[in-house]
Amino acid sequence: MNDAINQEKSQTLRSDILTIPNLLSIFRILLVPIFLWSMLNGRSFEALLIFFLAGLTDLLDGFTARVWHQRSKLGTVLDPAGDKLLMAASYVILTLPSVAAPNFIPLWLTVIVFARDLLIVTGAFIAFLSWRQKSFTPSSLGKITTACQVGTVFLVLLLNYLQVSPWYMIWVYGITLFWTVASGVHYFIYGLSALRQNRKI
């Protein structure tokens, strides 16, 4: 009887881990070192294809989690971890002129992107310690920022594969910078407001 119960619990835990969204997130994480290897070896088309595939898995894991009701605690960690790992690797490698040519992401944009993420992670850690908040809903500004950051990487990879360097790229970097700073300020103000409210309780 106990063995049957333990087996059932084990299967429940296993099914909670081995969901399609989680497998897609793990696959996206595994694509990161392959992406970096492609970049370091000058395989621009492969790097572009891998980044596109990784972005596709991000869309699919969110879609399947909602439609098939396969949300899990592990998924809430794997999905953002995969996203941040891919974006961090992309921005770092594409900031190196010796690797990314003819277009490379300016250092100032990469620094701001990392600074914003550090601000958000620090705020989330404080929220967890202060009032045990574990989940955070991205704001509209945050979604716009993510779209701009992902779009910037994809455009740089595409243009480098085509070996063209258009004049408007500085505007692309500027727009991404604007939304990154705007969402960072928004999250900071929201975090201060939430902290004050919870201290009053």
Residues 63-88: tens digit of each pLDDT:
776 776 667 777 677 788 888 999 99
Asked whether residue 110 falls in the same domain as residue 183, the answer is yes
pLDDT at 193: 79
Determine the structural domain holding residue 80 and report its residue range: 1-94
Mapped onto helix, strand or coil, the DSSP state of residue 5 is helix
149-169 tens-digit pLDDT: 999 999 999 999 999 999 999
Asked whether residue 81 falls in the same domain as residue 132, the answer is no
Asked whether residue 126 falls in the same domain as residue 190, the answer is yes
- What does the alpha-carbon distance between residue 70 and residue 3 come to, in Å, rounded to a whole number? 27
Asked whether residue 200 falls in the same domain as residue 114, the answer is yes
Asked whether residue 34 falls in the same domain as residue 82, the answer is yes
Distance of CA 131 to the CA centre of its chain: 25
Copy the structure tokens of residue 101: 């040519």
Tokens 């594409």, residue?
94
Asked whether residue 86 falls in the same domain as residue 118, the answer is no
Q: What is the mean pLDDT of the chain?
A: 83
Question: How far lies 157's CA from each of 40, 49, 50, 99, 114, in Å?
Answer: 13, 9, 11, 11, 20
How many contiguous H segments (helices) and E segments (strands) does the chain have? 7, 0
Over residues 183-190, mean pLDDT: 88
Asked whether residue 10 falls in the same domain as residue 23, the answer is yes
> Using 50, 70 and 90 to split pLDDT, how confident is the model at 132?
low
Asked whether residue 80 falls in the same domain as residue 149, the answer is no
In the predicted structure, residue 192 carries a pLDDT above the cut 80: no
Asked whether residue 10 falls in the same domain as residue 38, the answer is yes
pLDDT at 80: 81
Axis crossing angle, helix 73-94 with helix 107-131, rounded to the nearest 10: 160
Asked whether residue 134 falls in the same domain as residue 197, the answer is yes
Asked whether residue 136 falls in the same domain as residue 118, the answer is yes
Q: State how many domains the chain has.
A: 2
pLDDT at 68: 66
> Using 50, 70 and 90 to split pLDDT, how confident is the model at 188?
confident
Longest C-alpha distance within the chain, in Å?
A: 71
> Using 50, 70 and 90 to split pLDDT, how confident is the model at 122?
confident
In the predicted structure, residue 5 carries a pLDDT above the cut 60: no
pLDDT at 138: 73
User: Which of 39, 72, 94 corresponds to the end of one domain?
Assistant: 94
User: Could you give the percent of the chain with pLDDT greater than 90?
Assistant: 52
User: Which of 94, 115, 131 corresponds to the end of one domain?
Assistant: 94
